[in-house]
Amino acid sequence: MSTSRIRYDKDRNGVDVKAAAQIKAQRQPDGQFQSPNTKYPALIFEVAFSQNPGNFAKIAEGYMERSGVNTKTFIGINIDYKSRYPSTLSLWKAVNAIEDGAPVQDTFEAVEVIASKPFRDASGAPCNPDHELRLSLQDIATGPKTPDLDAIQIAITYDRLCKILDKACRFHAWREDSEPHAGFQAKHQTFRRKRSPTPPDCILPDDEAR
């Protein structure tokens, strides 16, 4: 599974990383959705092999906080590291914090919309196949919240999600286990043409005058 790199100017505590350590904080998620000419991706997903999908909460909050909530959607897929089949889905979204019924200025909360919901069982078959991972265009767009983007929905059933994960895992296993030169490659009858002999260096009269 490929990864993408994100550079941050500040750490989770808001400290200027470049000034403090002359480097920028980095994370390498498994995937992201980023619009052209934007600094941070709006959506990030990570795949983990662990027994504790609760770690996604801290990861999601970190992405959102360090990006100034330009990253506002986080998808976490947790695969049981022992059997490699049981898998759960988590979805986190950044929302405006509410206190006493009113929004708190410049404050956000990371809300777990989907909490470790199983979508693949121990045999590799789909769980809850009719359930959906549902996102709006607003969830993957960087910029102010607009009703138009919120109204356009993207839905992926858990059955479809299971098939996507199966395909990704098979490809990952093939890359890890195969010989360096395994796999299809086109057989082209191509030959390199020999270059013409390089003419000997010579000085032209004009060059000599200069």
Run of H or E including 126: none
**What is the distance between the alpha carbons of residues 119 and 128, in angstroms, rounded to a whole number?**
6
Q: Tell me, what amino acid is at 56?
A: F
Taking the mean position of all CA atoms in its chain, how far away is CA 204?
Answer: 59
Q: Are strands 73-79 and 43-49 parallel, antiparallel or unpaired?
A: parallel
Give yes or no for a contact between 90 and 52, defined as CB atoms under 8 angstroms apart: no
Label residues 63-91 b or e (16+ Cβ within 10 Å = b): bbbbbebbbbbbbbbbbbeeeebbbbbbb
Contacts with 107 (C-beta within 8 Å, 6 or more apart), sequence order: 96, 97
Residue with tokens 């914090």: 97
Tens of pLDDT along the chain (210 residues) come to 333 444 555 555 555 544 444 445 567 889 999 988 889 999 999 999 876 777 899 999 999 999 999 999 999 999 998 888 999 999 999 988 888 888 788 888 999 999 999 999 999 999 999 999 999 999 998 877 778 888 999 999 999 999 999 998 888 788 777 666 566 666 655 666 666 666 655 555 555 555
The answer to whether 43 and 113 are in contact (CB under 8 A) is: no
DSSP conformational letter for 93: E
Q: Is 11 exposed, middle or buried (0-12, 13-18, 19+ CB in 10 A)?
A: middle
For residue 144, what are its two tokens? 């102010």
What six digits make up the tokens of 116?
């470790």
